[in-house]
A and B are shown apart, each in its own frame.
Chain A
């Protein structure tokens, strides 16, 4: 759980850095993003990393499911009154729910862009002799209300999913260090601060991309 979770955190950083290129405007920005997208679908090292990521998501999901089933079985009869918030955070008690939201998000997200990039109808063009797929255009139009009538709904869904990610990570990041026994009175504060920062900054930056594309249309 912890290792797969932390690997997914690393994936998030990489994925975020790549996606932040979407903030670069103009043809130059679009070209760079499309070249980057081509690199990400063809480079063998990236291929290995992507398979590791798929594996981590599946492993994390299955392990989480097993844990949750075992944990429900360990308390077959619930308390009549239970005051969880007196002793633990909401996120820590709802990791499986948050994870399920993330799973729905990941499936939708892959369908939206990954599927289109690999198997969907997508326009090609040439940059300095290289044939690239115009994923940049796909992303932009996906979140622009004039080209996608569901754009507002999708922006809302992406932003809410990132909120779920924030809560999942708010517990998960620190939790992983505890699970691995990698903490100590001396470092706990640092892990907590880094974890809290990570769980706010990463989802916030992710969420800002669809919001930016959507709002840009009105400016």
Chain B
């Protein structure tokens, strides 16, 4: 397959950046999008040019590193896939493909397609934890009965990999889907009750302090999320936030 790639190149956070054009041929339809980038970088290195910086780690859809905004969509045209799990057969031979970094003031660009997502870490640090007894007499979690629906919902929320596609895709750069998943996975379980009120307040405050935008319920995040995190998590967090604000 052949492609024309239009890739955002930016030397550093403060430099301006621009789209650059590359042509690639002999790409297999079974290659992942990142493997296609490996081929491109290999070519750039051989030509003594600066390779394109992009994040990746597991390449199996679980680490959430591979942030690429492809043809106007986070992680490209596929549904419920990360960039590393997107294959070139999802494109047509001869396509022009635009690749940009996540764009949000809370995710500053480090270089090219690499962004700094430590804002997410600070949100987790602000409240995404539970207190456990570490004295040795710790209660076995399996000894606490939990309704099946709650366990399922908590587990669904916990599948969020913190990739940031929700922020990247939201026209407001809102982090509500991520934060609501992280709030829900804990608040749905008995172990998460102790900090429930403080947690939602702290995490939402930290989210605002990081400069993420406000949710206007466009629903774009849910569509583009590689893990299918549901908007019901946002409604749940809104509920918890209001409850904890009044009492």
Contacts and interface: CB of A to CB of B under 8 A. Distances in A.
Report whether chain A binds chain B: yes
A78 B103 contact: yes
Contact of B105 (A75, A78, A179): A75
A83 B217 contact: no
A48 interface: no
Contact of B238 (A87, A88, A181, A184): A181
B234 A75 contact: no
Contacts of A76: 105
Nearest to A66: B214
- B interface bracket (residues with beta carbon within 8 Å of A): 35 or more
Contacts, number: 109
A33 to B, nearest CB: 38
B220 A88 contact: yes
Contacts of B103: 75, 77-79
A171 B220 CA distance: 13
Contact of B218 (A77, A88, A183): A88
A84 B213 contact: no
Interface string B85-101: 00000000000001010
Given A75-B172, A178-B238, A183-B235, 14 more contacts: A71-B172, A73-B105, A74-B173, A75-B105, A75-B173, A81-B72, A84-B72, A84-B220, A87-B218, A95-B216, A178-B235, A179-B215, A183-B232, A184-B232
Interface of B: 6, 8, 19, 69, 71-73, 77, 98, 100, 103-106, 169, 171-174, 211-220, 223-224, 231-232, 234-242
Interface of A: 67, 70-71, 73-84, 86-89, 92-93, 95, 171, 174-175, 178-185
